[in-house]
């Protein structure tokens, strides 16, 4: 990357420019963060890299995105870092730090079981409008024993561009959110004034037609269609209520669930089906919603890793309790098999909220059904 004098040569500068352009090429917040850490790893030939997003209190890490460790390796390590040891140095004192051997530093916190060994270290803060947004952590330079001063300067420059990209993505998200509020109002109005009224009129017409039929099977078929229309109307009214609540409170558990399902679809290779029932956004408290999202992410991750499924359903129902069902048509549950760490995490989250978890074989012995229930009348 540089010559012996410490000068950043043309190749290094070209790669820095490429990295800056890569980081700035996307405005979706999650993709921006992934591009930042991948670009940093490539820029200085690091084997491993991570981007830690600082929490609201400024004392720990709220998000931790890694490069260089596969999904199975991350799962074996367990819980993500919270910002202790060397990682915490940049939180307490947000200045670049370069170490030949991070294990020898007095603040070294050590590695958890199954963590790959790491030696050389380079850490650089990312600032958004003079406030530290997060930190870049790079380890094990592959083309030299340690990271150089030039490497540090290159990553500092990339971090400056990254801060601008993060700010741009935030501004775009705010603009989209404003537009989404207007869309919610329009969609809710159209659903109520047009769609529901037409479905209701169709149901009345069918009921009138049923009185003219002289064959019992025809009457039964018409009545079944009327019942289906009633269910559809109930679901639409629930959706309308959810749209109004999301508009007033600025949060939507439905949107969070859809985001998790969409993300999981990339690992599954197909999009899971999702069904909501009940006033999800108004009944579910924030603490329960956070646990539900974590459980759903874990459940879908387990399906992607172990089930070899071709179809997945996610059903969420809110009433006296919040009931989540994740159903797949994969290899199923082996009788007597011990619960893995993922299922144990799901169970512990339910217990903490006074709820239950049940994993059972699916219909006809194929696939599995995960039931996760917690009370809402606390």
Question: What structural domains does the chain harbor?
Answer: 10-173 (3.30.450.40), 251-378 (3.30.565.10)
The helix or strand, by DSSP H or E, that contains position 66, with its residue range, turns out to be: strand 61-67
Q: Tell me how far the alpha carbon of residue 53 is from its chain's centroid.
A: 14
Structure tokens at 269: 């290779």
Question: 291-310 as b/e, with b when 16 or more CB fall inside 10 Å?
Answer: bbeebbbbbbbbbbeebebe
Structure tokens at 61: 């890490």
Torsion of CA 325, 326, 331, 335, to 10 degrees: -40
pTM for the predicted model, two decimal places: 0.47
Q: How far apart are the first and last CA of the chain?
A: 59
Which pLDDT does position 100 carry in this prediction? 94
As beta bridge partners, residue 127 has: 132
Which pLDDT does position 295 carry in this prediction? 93
Which pLDDT does position 237 carry in this prediction? 61
Which pLDDT does position 7 carry in this prediction? 46
The whole-angstrom separation of Cα 148 and Cα 4 is 10
Contact 125, 94 (CB under 8 A): yes
In order along its 378 residues, the chain shows pLDDT tens digits of 444 444 445 565 566 666 565 555 555 666 778 888 888 898 899 999 999 888 887 888 888 888 888 877 777 777 777 777 888 888 888 899 999 998 888 887 777 787 888 999 999 999 887 788 889 999 999 999 999 998 898 888 888 888 877 777 776 666 555 555 566 666 666 666 666 666 666 666 676 766 666 677 767 777 777 776 666 666 666 665 655 555 545 557 888 888 888 888 878 888 888 888 877 877 888 889 989 999 999 999 889 888 888 889 999 998 889 999 999 998 887 655 556 677 888 999 999 999 999 998 877 667 899 999 999 875
Which pLDDT does position 2 carry in this prediction? 44
Longest dimension (CA), the chain: 97
The whole-angstrom separation of Cα 97 and Cα 93 is 10
Q: DSSP class of residue 194?
A: I
| Residues in CB range of 146: below 8 A, 6 or more apart | 98, 99, 100, 120
Which pLDDT does position 129 carry in this prediction? 78
How many residues in total does the chain contain? 378
- The closest of 361, 357, 368, 363 to 308, measured between CA atoms, is 368
Radius of gyration of the chain (CA): 26
Q: What angle do CA 310, 311, 315 make, to 5 degrees?
A: 160
Structure tokens at 24: 């700035």
Distinct helix (H) and strand (E) counts, the chain = 11, 10
Contact 26, 46 (CB under 8 A): no
Which pLDDT does position 106 carry in this prediction? 82
- The closest of 165, 170, 115, 134 to 61, measured between CA atoms, is 134
The whole-angstrom separation of Cα 249 and Cα 270 is 32
The whole-angstrom separation of Cα 300 and Cα 277 is 20
- Three-state DSSP string of 110-174: CCCCCCCCCCCEEEEEEEECCEEEEEEEEEEECCCCCCCHHHHHHHHHHHHHHHHHHHHHHHHHH
The whole-angstrom separation of Cα 315 and Cα 278 is 11
């Amino acid at each position: 990357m540089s010559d012996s004098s410490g000068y950043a040569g043309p190749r290094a500068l070209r790669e820095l420019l490429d990295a800056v352009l890569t980081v700035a090429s996307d405005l979706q917040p999650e993709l921006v963060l992934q591009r930042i850490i991948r670009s940093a790893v490539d820029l200085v030939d690091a084997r491993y890299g991570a981007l830690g997003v600082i929490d609201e209190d400024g004392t720990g890490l709220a998000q931790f995105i890694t490069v260089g460790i596969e999904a199975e390796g991350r799962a074996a390590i367990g819980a993500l870092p919270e910002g202790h040891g060397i990682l915490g140095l940049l939180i307490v004192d947000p200045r670049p730090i370069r170490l030949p051997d991070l294990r020898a530093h007095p603040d070294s916190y050590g590695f958890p079981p199954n963590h790959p060994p790491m030696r050389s270290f380079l850490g650089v803060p990312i600032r958004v409008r003079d406030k530290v947004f997060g930190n870049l952590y790079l380890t094990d330079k592959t083309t030299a024993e340690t990271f150089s001063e030039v490497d540090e300067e290159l990553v500092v420059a990339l971090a400056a561009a990254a801060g601008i990209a993060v700010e741009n993505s935030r501004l775009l998200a705010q603009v989209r959110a404003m537009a989404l509020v207007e869309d919610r109002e329009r969609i809710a109005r159209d659903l109520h004034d047009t769609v529901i009224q037409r479905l209701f009129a169709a149901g009345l017409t069918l009921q009138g037609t049923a009185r003219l039929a002289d064959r019992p099977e025809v009457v039964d078929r018409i009545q079944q269609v009327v019942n289906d229309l009633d269910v559809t109307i109930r679901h639409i009214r629930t959706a309308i209520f959810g749209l109004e609540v999301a508009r007033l409170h600025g949060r939507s558990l439905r949107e969070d669930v859809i985001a998790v399902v969409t993300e999981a679809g990339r690992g599954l290779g197909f999009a899971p089906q999702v069904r909501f029932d009940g006033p999800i956004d108004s009944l579910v408290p924030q603490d329960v919603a956070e646990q539900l999202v974590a459980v759903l992410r874990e459940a879908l991750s387990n399906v992607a890793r172990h089930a070899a499924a071709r179809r997945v359903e996610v059903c969420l129902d809110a009433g006296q309790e919040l009931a989540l069902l994740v159903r797949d048509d994969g290899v199923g549950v082996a009788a007597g098999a011990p619960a893995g760490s993922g299922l144990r995490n799901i169970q512990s989250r339910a217990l903490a909220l006074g709820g239950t978890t049940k994993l059972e074989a699916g219909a006809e012995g194929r696939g599995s059904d995960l039931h996760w229930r917690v009370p809402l009348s606390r």
